[in-house]
């Protein structure tokens, strides 16, 4: 299993440099060929093989928070590369392994004692004047929102060729089940188990009394037509990438033809993670704020 391993690290986290060196050392001791970017691993000796989007990998490691793993997934999931997430962030919905458990996790991977968990992704196209001008993939969500202007935008949402709703709103979120615990949840959307095959449509601050989130089959296409009296409109991908939209654009979203393949070491269910991350972590944050 070890083979060729690519490491992507978010170096802004405290003490991540120590873990990086430890991970590389252990991987090499297990016979792995390790790839990484020069900026993140400048102190590692001997130097790592350079990592690019075209590097052929057997698996990848994300060192950081869930945001780091989202970025890694968009690059490597289309190539079928399994990903191990090592958590340095607050939530850790996707990044299962804590820094103290790295040695155990790598040993279990070397012994082939792990499982692969498939997470569905979204594929989106932006159409303008009859032409496709952008394509993106997302693990969490596609957001279509107004910018800094306080004026609403109007979003006509179709499922296949049938009008679902017209939302005068700040925007709309099209989420995978994995993304249901992210932006969609904050906007009032439902929590959906990642084992469910679906696409969640959640309006953001709709100016209506009857707007609700809708969970659709992932076999359907969602089309969103954008209208506004201003030009400050954008599309966001996993909250990380931004694309400027124009009035009259249509965004078409379907399930992607590939999935994110997460390496799982521990026997934790989605509901254990949900309870811990959304309830117990919230208490930790409150206590920390009170101490400060």
Q: Return the closest-CA partner of residue 66 out of 187, 219, 199, 182.
A: 182
Closest CA to 156 of 235, 249, 256: 249
**Of these residues, 43, 66, 170, 272, which one is catalytic?**
66
Whether 284 is a known active-site residue: answer no
Q: Which residues pair with 157 in a beta bridge?
A: 165, 224
Q: Which residues are bridge partners to 226 per DSSP? A: 155
Beta strands at 33-36 and 49-50: parallel, antiparallel or unpaired: parallel
Q: Which residues on neighbouring strands pair with residue 224, listed in sequence order?
A: 157, 251
Contact of 198 with 174, CB cutoff 8 Å: no
- Residue 103, both tokens: 């040695």
User: Which phi and psi angles does 213 have, rounded to 5°?
Assistant: -65, 150
Which residues, in sequence order, are CB contacts of 256 under 8 Å at separation 6+? Answer: 77, 78, 120, 121, 122, 123, 137
Whether the CB-CB separation of 206 and 169 falls below 8 Å is answered with yes
Closest CA to 66 of 277, 207, 279: 277
CB burial of residue 19 (10 Å; 0-12, 13-18, 19+): middle
**Spatial strand order in the sheet of 171-175:** 214-217, 198-204, 171-175, 141-146, 233-237, 241-245
> What amino acid positions are annotated as catalytic residues?
66
């Amino acid at each position: 299993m070890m083979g060729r391993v690519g490491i992507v690290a978010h170096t802004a986290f405290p003490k991540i440099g120590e873990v990086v060196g430890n991970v590389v050392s252990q991987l090499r001791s297990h016979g792995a060929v390790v790839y990484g970017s020069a900026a993140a691993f400048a102190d590692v000796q001997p130097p790592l093989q350079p990592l690019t989007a075209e590097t052929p990998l057997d698996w990848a490691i994300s060192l950081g928070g869930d945001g780091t793993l989202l970025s890694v997934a968009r690059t490597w999931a289309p190539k079928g590369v399994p990903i191990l997430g090592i958590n340095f962030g607050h939530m850790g919905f996707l990044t299962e392994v804590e820094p103290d458990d790295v040695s155990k996790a790598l040993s279990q991977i070397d012994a082939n004692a792990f499982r692969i968990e498939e997470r569905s992704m979204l594929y989106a196209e932006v159409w303008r004047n009859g032409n496709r001008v952008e394509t993106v993939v997302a693990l969490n969500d596609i957001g279509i929102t107004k910018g800094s202007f306080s004026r609403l935008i109007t979003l006509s949402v179709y499922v296949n060729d049938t009008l679902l709703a017209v939302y005068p709103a700040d925007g709309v979120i099209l989420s995978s089940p994995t993304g249901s615990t992210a932006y969609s949840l904050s906007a009032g959307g439902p929590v959906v188990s990642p084992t469910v095959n679906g696409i969640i449509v959640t309006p953001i601050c709709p100016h209506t009394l009857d707007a609700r989130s809708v969970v659709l089959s992932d076999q359907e296409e969602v089309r969103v037509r954008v209208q506004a009296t201003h030009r400050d409109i954008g599309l966001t991908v996993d909250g990380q990438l931004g694309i400027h939209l124009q009035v009259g654009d249509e965004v078409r979203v379907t399930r992607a033809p590939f999935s994110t393949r997460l390496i799982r070491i521990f026997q934790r269910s989605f509901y254990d993670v949900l309870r811990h991350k959304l309830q117990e972590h919230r208490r930790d944050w409150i206590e920390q704020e009170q101490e400060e």
